[in-house]
Amino acid sequence: MLKNASYIIYPLFRLAFSMAAGIFLFDRFLSDRLSWPWAFGLFGIAVVLTCACFRSSVYRWRSLFGYLATLSFFLLGGCSVLYQQSRIDYLWPQEAEVYEGVVQTVPYLKGKTFRAEVTVTHRLEASEDTCIREKRWLPVRRKILLYWILDSAGTSLQCGDRICFHATVSRPVSDMNLTGFDYGKYLFRQGISGTALAFEGHWKRLQPAFMLTWKQRALLLRERLLEQYRNWGLEGDVLAVVSALTVGEKRELTEELKAVYSAAGTSHVLALSGLHVGMIVGILWILLAPLKRWRHGKNVASVLLVVCLWMFAFLSGLSASVVRAVTMFTLYVLASWVSEERFSGFLSVTLTAFLMLVYQPMYLFDISFQLSFVAVYSILLLYPLISSWWSPRNRIGTYVWNALSVSLAAQLGTLPLILYYFGAFPTYFLLANLVVGPLACCILCATLGAFLLGNLPVVGAGVIWLLTQTTVLLNVIMESVSSLDGSQLTAIHLSAFQALLLFLLLGAVYAYLHRRSALRLMTCLGIVNVFLVIGIWRYGRPFSDSFYLYRSEVYHRKRFEAEVLSSANGFYRLDALKVAVLKDSTWRKKQAAEKLVVDYAYICRGFRGNVEGLSRVFEIRQVVFDGSLNPSYRESLKAECMRYQIPFAELPAEGSYRIVRKY
């Protein structure tokens, strides 16, 4: 099979790769320099030239057809991502305004506030014209991440409700210096145009007047399923795993449980992917088997199966990995109707990627999209090679070896992405994946059985008990694997270029195993040398040891890692500097005979008092305002700082405030 694995010659792969390159490069370098109409014009010119070369009888011009077609799809990707960005970006007013919107997701409690995605439909504009004050609603049609505090009446919101709120909407804050993660860009690529916080009394639930979308109906149905799980008596880690594995709901997952599955190398089982879709296909295919006895029954079963899979995709929130798997199966079914030849797996996954990027170019930056497609490509390329290393002589050995081969192929292919995004690598992933597949399938079957037989007094209770015990067994095994010595290699920090070098190394090693030669071996060794040189340079270069004020806490960052500092009274001594974190009313109406020198007074949400009162106790050299403060309260504190000539800084612009360590 390796001899016929020159997949790069497929025209569709070249065009899909060109389109992905256009999406990436335009987003990275041209998003602020080129508008989508200009990009679309360039795309139109390229298409016209491509058609002209195709119809030309001059061979010299027709030879340019391939290059111009590649350029056309490159520009198609570029103009599609620029157009998508124009639909997300919005110039939000700097002051608080009145907005009207629709809740798009199920609200959930985060700290002391509720959070949900809200599509802002209109903004109330107030304009003054001499003595006449006119108000009008301006269309917005942008999605934001809204936080709100419950009012005294305890009014609740749910998916699909209309809401009117008064708040300041701003672009998502990024803090690359401290976390190394561009949260603002992440939300933007998820379609989130801004974030806002509506305080108590500044929002109101309106009468619903819009019909629910299919996605909203699916989310509400998912909430009903989760409530059914609770009625069965599922709770804690059992409820969390069953919810994540069956309907893709991960709110119940604790950080400890995520860490256990991550260390065991089985985090993918908690995120719906092709593994779950494959299991569902197998279960439904067995249930629909009686239809195959009828004429055209197989086609009817295929249609029902595709419909059920897309319903499951909507129910799970249309994650990129699930959409990929369901789209591939749909293409497989369609191909089986029009051709009796076997549908190439490589062609189907490439066509799926192409269609998904045409529909939503932002999918390219989704981690689940990247991991899903890289894993499938890796299995298609590496599984035949790995499985050929050994041929077991019995069924059990064949199953074990095939499972290990698939797991190893997927893990090797996604290794650069895993190290780049997560900085850790599970060492016992082969052992854990031997059992996670069968147990996950049992959990899916038991969940389906509980829905079908749950109303039967004895049988239903037995199925629910089996579901609970199977999930407990899965958690215990994952806990045991993660607790083994050296179960996870951590603190691995790769740059984007190093991750690219790892992909090139995997490709070079694959090419060498395909056809061994001295040149290919030297290429592998050369890539290894470049990778090591860059790693030594990154770890050897000087760095600035710094402290950060961020989200009401003080952090200490050393090179690639950051840790939160603790203090019982809110005072921190950072070498020669003194920092006070003020987030309560402790110092309100206090006085001191001798003032305490404070280099930085970090005023956060929850603080009660004013700068004048603080100046009776502290000699403040600079004030730092956290972004969580009420805007009007923050403005009054800023006015006091200017009156007392105390320098101040605000966090929303940068996300965190950096203090360089002084030795």
Q: Which tens digit of pLDDT belongs to each residue from 592-645?
A: 778 888 889 998 888 888 888 888 888 889 999 887 787 788 888 999 899 888
Same domain, yes or no, for 205 and 260?
no
Total of domains in the chain: 5
Q: What tokens were used for 548? A: 């950060």
The CA-based diameter of the chain, rounded to the nearest angstrom, is: 96
User: Which pLDDT value is given to residue 109?
Assistant: 83
Q: What is the 3-state secondary structure (H, E, C) of 447-513?
A: HHHHHHHCCCHHHHHHHHHHHHHHHHHHHHHHHHHHCCCCCEECCCCCCHHHHHHHHHHHHHHHHHH
Q: What is the pLDDT of residues 71-81, one digit of tens each?
A: 999 999 999 99
Q: Which residue, 66, 88, 110, sits at the end of a domain?
A: 88
Average pLDDT, the chain: 84
Q: What is the pLDDT of residues 480-524, one digit of tens each?
A: 998 888 888 877 888 889 999 999 999 999 999 888 889 999 999
Same domain, yes or no, for 264 and 232?
yes
Same domain, yes or no, for 477 and 333?
yes
User: Which pLDDT value is given to residue 19?
Assistant: 93
Between the ranges 230-234, 340-344, 420-424, where is the mean pLDDT highest? 230-234
Q: What tokens were used for 355? A: 């269609």
Strand partners for 464: none
CA distance 637 to 646: 11
Tell me the torsion sign for CA atoms 414, 416, 422, 428: positive
User: Which pLDDT value is given to residue 176?
Assistant: 67
Q: What is the pLDDT of residues 163-173, one digit of tens each?
A: 999 998 988 77
Same domain, yes or no, for 333 and 357?
yes
Evaluate if residue 536 carries a pLDDT over 80: yes
CATH of the domain at 198: 2.40.50
User: Would you say 373 and 501 are in contact if contact means Cβ atoms under 8 Å apart?
Assistant: no
Q: What is the pLDDT of residues 352-399, one digit of tens each?
A: 899 999 999 999 998 888 998 999 899 988 988 888 888 888 888 888
Q: Where are the alpha helices (DSSP H) in 190-319?
A: 214-231, 236-247, 255-264, 274-287, 297-315
CA distance 284 to 312: 12
Q: Which residue, 155, 185, 211, sits at the end of a domain?
A: 211
CB count within 10 Å of CB 4 equals 6
Evaluate if residue 661 carries a pLDDT over 50: yes
Q: Which residues contact 546 (CB under 8 A, 6 or more apart)?
A: 177, 556, 557, 658, 659, 660, 661
Same domain, yes or no, for 402 and 315?
yes
Q: What is the pLDDT of residues 150-196, one digit of tens each?
A: 876 666 788 888 999 999 898 877 666 676 677 888 889 889 999 99
Same domain, yes or no, for 156 and 54?
no
Same domain, yes or no, for 454 and 321?
yes
CA distance 75 to 289: 46
Q: Which residue has the higher pLDDT, 656 or 240?
A: 240
Q: What is the mean pLDDT of residues 398-423?
A: 89
pTM over 0.75: yes
Q: What is the pLDDT of residues 424-456, one digit of tens each?
A: 888 888 888 888 888 998 998 899 888 888 788
User: Which pLDDT value is given to residue 61?
Assistant: 67
Same domain, yes or no, for 332 and 475?
yes
Q: Which residue, 211, 232, 250, sits at the end of a domain?
A: 211
Q: What tokens were used for 429? A: 């992933």
Same domain, yes or no, for 584 and 439?
no
Q: What is the mean pLDDT of residues 303-325?
A: 85
Evaluate if residue 132 carries a pLDDT over 70: no
User: Which pLDDT value is given to residue 5?
Assistant: 43
Same domain, yes or no, for 292 and 381?
yes
CB count within 10 Å of CB 464 equals 21
User: Which pLDDT value is given to residue 549?
Assistant: 86
CA distance 150 to 218: 25
Q: What is the mean pLDDT of residues 572-600?
A: 82
User: Which pLDDT value is given to residue 502?
Assistant: 93
Confidence of residue 4 (pLDDT cuts 50, 70, 90): very low
- pLDDT above 70 covers a percentage of the chain that reads 91
User: Which pLDDT value is given to residue 251?
Assistant: 85
Q: Can you give the residue range of the structural domain that contains 429?
A: 217-489
CA distance 590 to 613: 7
Same domain, yes or no, for 150 and 71?
no
Evaluate if residue 112 carries a pLDDT over 80: no
Q: Which residue has the higher pLDDT, 592 or 89?
A: 89
User: Which pLDDT value is given to residue 130?
Assistant: 41
Same domain, yes or no, for 565 and 504?
no
